[in-house]
């Protein structure tokens, strides 16, 4: 079954480990807010302290689950450049492989929020006329995102996409 998700030629290029770090920081920030709210509720409303305690426990459990998820999710992302298309794969339990023909690409978008920029990563998004074949590649190092954007633009023009 793994052959179904193997690239036609070459190897999968993996995304940077900083993607997991950024996601873990976001998870920890959200869980921290929920934890503080839970503690404040438990202190201010002693009659229904169980609500605050439950929120605090969920925040702690959610952080643990999110920590593990972020690492597994980061390791599941990959892309491979073939002669006629770009393959993007992701997913652990539900794996997905998207093949985007260079001739179908309309434009390539590079995005990076403040946290991503602080860790030197970006997301490359490939847009086509169909939303089903558009694909994101998050967690690319900034220099790799620039290289991939330029290469995909060149290949799109060479294959008649008009990127």
Helices (H), 6-141: 18-44, 49-76, 114-118
Q: Are residues 95 and 132 in the same domain?
A: yes
Q: Give the pLDDT of residue 11.
A: 83
- Say which residues have a Cβ less than 8 Å from residue 22's Cβ, sequence separation at least 6: 115, 116, 119, 121, 139
Count of domains in the chain? 2
33-42, 55-64, 81-90, 109-118: least confident range: 81-90
163 in a structural domain: no
Mean pLDDT, residues 107-112? 92
Q: Which of 160, 150, 5 is nearest to 84 (CA)?
A: 160
Q: What is the pLDDT of residue 163?
A: 47
Round to whole Å and give the CA distance between 33 and 29.
6
Same domain, yes or no: 93 and 130: yes
Three-state SS for 107? strand
User: What's the pTM?
Assistant: 0.85
Beta 78-81 vs 13-14: how paired, if at all? Answer: antiparallel
Same domain flag for 114 and 128: yes
Would you place residue 72 in the very low, low, confident or very high pLDDT band (cuts 50, 70, 90)? very high
Q: What is the mean pLDDT of the chain?
A: 89
Please count the CA atoms within 13 angstroms of the CA of 154 that sit on its side-chain side: 7
pLDDT tens-digit readout, 43-59? 999 998 999 999 999 99
Q: Which token pair is 84?
A: 């006629």
In a domain, 13, yes or no: no
**Residue 83 pLDDT greater than 50, yes or no:** yes
């Amino acid at each position: 079954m793994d052959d179904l998700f193997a690239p036609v030629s070459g190897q999968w290029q993996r995304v940077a480990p900083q993607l997991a770090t950024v996601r873990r920081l976001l998870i920890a920030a959200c869980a921290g807010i929920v934890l503080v709210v839970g503690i404040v509720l438990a202190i201010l409303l002693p009659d229904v302290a169980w609500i605050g305690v439950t929120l605090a426990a969920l925040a702690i459990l959610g952080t643990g689950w999110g920590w593990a998820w972020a690492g597994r999710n980061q390791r599941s992302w990959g892309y491979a450049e073939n002669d006629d298309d770009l393959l993007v794969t992701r997913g652990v339990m539900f794996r997905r492989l998207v093949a985007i023909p260079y001739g179908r690409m309309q434009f390539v978008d590079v995005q990076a929020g403040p946290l991503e920029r602080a860790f030197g990563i970006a997301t490359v998004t490939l847009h086509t006329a169909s939303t089903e074949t558009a694909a994101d590649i998050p967690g690319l190092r900034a220099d790799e995102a620039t290289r991939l954007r330029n290469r995909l633009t060149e290949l799109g023009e060479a294959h008649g996409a008009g990127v």
